[in-house]
Structure 1
Amino acid sequence: MIIQLEQSEDHPTLSQEYHRLIEMTEDYGLEHQKAMLYHNVAYLYLRNAEYQKASGFYKKSMDAREKSHPNYLGSLEGYVNALTKEGKTSKEKLLTLVEQGLDLSKSSNSSTFVHIFMMHYYFLSNVMDRYYEYLEEEAFPYFKEKGYMLLVEHYGVVLFDYYMEKNDMERANRFAGPVINKFRRNNQFV
């Protein structure tokens, strides 16, 4: 059912169906599935700029899991991201959450989340030169090496925009190439 849901672009229907599935997990006591659905509906709200709803469901997903659970870090990161985008939470609280995420990432040897929480740290600390330097030199190559294409495409666009703003066309083009090539491979129009 979730696979079918994710193929739809109809946000209201998706939201309604997620909530129906969450009720089903409550009826049957399926706690793991409920935590997963909380996370997925939170991501749906995040993608649709409903940050307050997103943060609420990420928090529910976190509360439904132990901190040692492999998916806890993903929900914590989504929570930080939604709260940051909403703009109502103090930087101090956000940085405390980021530090928790970094500690958990390091203790569980999750290099992916170490990189993501480090980027949150630099962003929230308003050290943007260091943010972009870290992204380009540390995080982006790691995401590329691991084959995390969603992250590679997203941060490729972030770096492209950054270098376009700096009028560094050579570096901007280096990050635009893979995204353009993806569409070149996927589309077969006349």
Structure 2
Amino acid sequence: MYEGKIIKFYREKAKLTQQQLGEGICSDTHVSKIERGMTDYSRQITSLFSKRLGINIEEEVKRYKNIKKLLNRWHDAIIKELFNEAKTIKDELEKEPLLQITDYQILYELLKARYHLLHNNLEQTDIIIKVIQIKHKDLPPYESNLLKHLLGIYYLSKQDMIKAVDILKTINAEDYKNPEYYLNLATAYLAVNSKVMAYYFAEKSLQYFIKTNNILKMIDAEMIMLMTRESDGLSDFQKIVEQYKALTHTCELCHAPDKKARLLHNLAFEHYTRHEYVDSSRLYQQSMVLKEKKSAVYLISLEGFIRSCFEGNLLSDDKLKKLCHDGLSTSREINQYLYLISFKLLLYLINNQQSEYFCYLSSEALPYFKKCGYVTLVQRYEKELFNYYLKTDEKGKALELADILINAG
């Protein structure tokens, strides 16, 4: 079967007809049947074909069979975030001409999209996914679930949490057999404030990463599990802090500054929720140092830093305003609408423009947060808005929000 496909590939590459290839060896009809795998043939015939085409058929068959192994290795390197190895395998696959005649072309394209996601190249990912969706309506079970996984990661990267949850929870674990997706599902559930589900899937993913010795992903899973914990008193919070520090130390040992930055950010938020603004601002700053300035992950820490400094009265209004304008500029440049909203809200607060703040919150910010599934933000800002309506004696609006808050609770 492999020999026929390989012979056809090199015959067409040499621009020979079936008759020209078979001349003096066999009929063009027999060549056609060999190429389609519809007849038996002798080793002597394939040897004569190989000589005429200038190839070694045995070596070509080995290369053909090796493609699936190479794809599996590529996927594994991507999952383990082995950037150099993933790049090396990608380059090797791109030089493999036989890839275009195998049954693994769709898998290759899907893994190429996954590779772009690893590097946060969302534009290229989007192009590949759309082409696959147009060209291939009925994918095999594994590839179908891999596509759903890619879409889930893509929506997470685009910060559309509702879509991420909706697509990831439709994955058939039996057909896919890649428990790594549990981590992405846990991330999505955490974003929509479903902490029980987030913990459940993070723990499931952790067992898989322990089994496969994937330390970097183990850090991610444990990080989510930490974020779902509710501390009860100072001693319990100290235990959480120690766990964060232990994971941070693991990141340093593994040379994983991006994960260390996330841990520092999350720990900063823990301190912020306890009104410990000096500690939270310090940790936000440490997180920012480890991040690329023109990135969404940098902006989220910058927003946290400004908010901590504002509420803790740690910086002058002029310095806070400058930081907000820097954040707005970067948000526009990298097309991050979420942070564009966040920095506008902060500016209204710093300028003490209360009516403008709540008008923007009601008309722009909250509808967007609801659309994208930012449950925690929605709940927080709805309570703010409710208290404002009570304070300004807007009873009708307050009652509307009260009904929403009661039903949400």
SS of corresponding position for 2:296: coil
Q: CA deviation at 1:70?
A: 2.6
Q: 1:88, 1:45 → 2: CA distance?
A: 15
Normalised by the length of structure 1, the TM-score is: 0.92
Match of 1:7 in 2: 228
The question of whether the paired residues in 1 share the 8 Å contact of 2:295 and 2:334 is answered with: no
Alignment pair present for 1:59 and 2:280: no
Tell me, yes or no, if structure 1 residue 115 matches structure 2 residue 341.
yes
2:264 is matched by which residue type in structure 1? Answer: Y
1: CA distance, partners of 2:245 / 2:237: 12
Alpha carbons 2:389, 2:395 under 8 Å: kept:
yes
Q: 1:20 aligns with which of 234, 239, 246?
A: 246
Deviates more, 1:161-170 or 1:91-100: 161-170
Separation (CA, whole Å) in 2 of partners of 1:153 and 1:134: 16
Distance 2:372 2:335 in 1: 15
Q: Distance in 1 between matches of 2:361 and 2:306?
A: 18
- Partner of residue 82 from structure 1, selected from 297, 304, 308: 308
Aligned letter for 1:84?
F
Distance between the aligned counterparts of 1:175 and 1:116, measured in 2?
Answer: 21
In percent, how many aligned pairs have the same letter?
32
Check the 8 A contact 2:324/2:343 in 1, yes or no: yes
Deviation at 1:69, TM superposition (A): 2.7
Size of the aligned set, in residue pairs, is 183
The C-alpha deviation readout for 1:14-53, integer Å capped at 9, x for no partner, is: 1111111111211221111111111111111111111111
Q: Deviations over 1:89-129 (max 9, x none)?
A: 10000001000110011111111111110010111011111
1:6 is displaced (CA, Å) by 2.3
Shift of 1:176: 2.1
**Paired position in structure 2 for 1:186:** none
Q: Is the counterpart of residue 71 in structure 1 residue 297 in structure 2?
A: yes
Q: Using the alignment, how far apart are the partners of 1:7 and 1:123 within structure 2?
A: 29
TM-score under structure 2 length normalisation: 0.44
Within 5 A, what are the aligned runs for 1:23-172? 23-172=249-398
The question of whether the paired residues in 1 share the 8 Å contact of 2:288 and 2:302 is answered with yes
Q: Decide which moves more: 116-125 or 137-146.
A: 137-146
Q: Which runs of 5+ in 1 are unaligned?
A: 184-190
SS in 1 for 2:253: helix
Tell me if the contact between 2:261 and 2:287 (Cα under 8 Å) persists in the aligned partners: yes
Distance in 1 separating the partners of 2:254 and 2:338: 34
> 2-side partners of 1:55 and 1:88: how far apart?
9
Query: Is 1:178 aligned with 2:404?
Result: yes
Q: Return the alpha-carbon distance in structure 2 between the equivalents of residues 70 and 7 of structure 1.
A: 22
Query: Cα distance 1:134–1:40, how it changes in 2: closer, same or farther (>3 A)?
Result: same
Alpha-carbon displacement from aligned partner over 1:157-190 (angstroms, at most 9, x marks no partner): 000000011122210122222221122xxxxxxx
1-structure distance, mates of 2:361, 2:305: 21
Structure 2: tracts of 5 or more residues without a match: 1-221
Deviating above 4 A after TM superposition, structure 1's stretches of 4 or more consecutive aligned residues are none
Larger Cα Rg: Structure 1 or Structure 2?
A: 2
Q: Distance in 2 between matches of 1:155 and 1:127?
A: 16
